[in-house]
């Protein structure tokens, strides 16, 4: 979810390191979040999605970013 404080660079870092997206795809998702308020990081089983969500939230908190990550069923 978009916020006014988390840097675009940090979002791309999260997308490449936790979601294993390539640089171009990570930038595309980051821009989707920036312009539309949210973006799709991938499709995973519930357990994997929740684990990745926890990793994002822990990393964001540790680095002082208010970044939010939500899991939605599709």
Domain ranges of the chain: 8-62
Q: How far apart are CA 21 and CA 59, in angstroms?
A: 17
pLDDT of residue 51: 99
Tens of pLDDT along 8-50?
Answer: 999 999 999 999 999 999 999 999 999 998 999 999 999 999 9
Burial of 30 (0-12, 13-18, 19+ CB in 10 A): buried
Pick the closest to residue 16 from 67, 52, 54, 58 (CA basis).
52
- Asked if residue 56 has pLDDT above 80, the reply is yes
- Output the CATH code of domain 8-62: 3.30.1390.10
43 within 8 A of 74, measured Cβ to Cβ: yes
Burial of 41 (0-12, 13-18, 19+ CB in 10 A): buried
């Amino acid at each position: 979810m978009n916020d006014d404080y988390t840097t675009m660079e940090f979002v791309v870092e999260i997308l490449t390191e936790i979601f294993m997206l390539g640089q171009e795809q990570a930038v595309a998702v980051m821009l989707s979040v920036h312009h539309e308020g949210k973006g799709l990081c991938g499709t995973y089983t519930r357990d994997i999605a929740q684990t990745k969500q926890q990793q994002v939230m822990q990393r964001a908190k540790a680095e002082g970013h208010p970044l939010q990550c939500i899991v939605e069923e599709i």
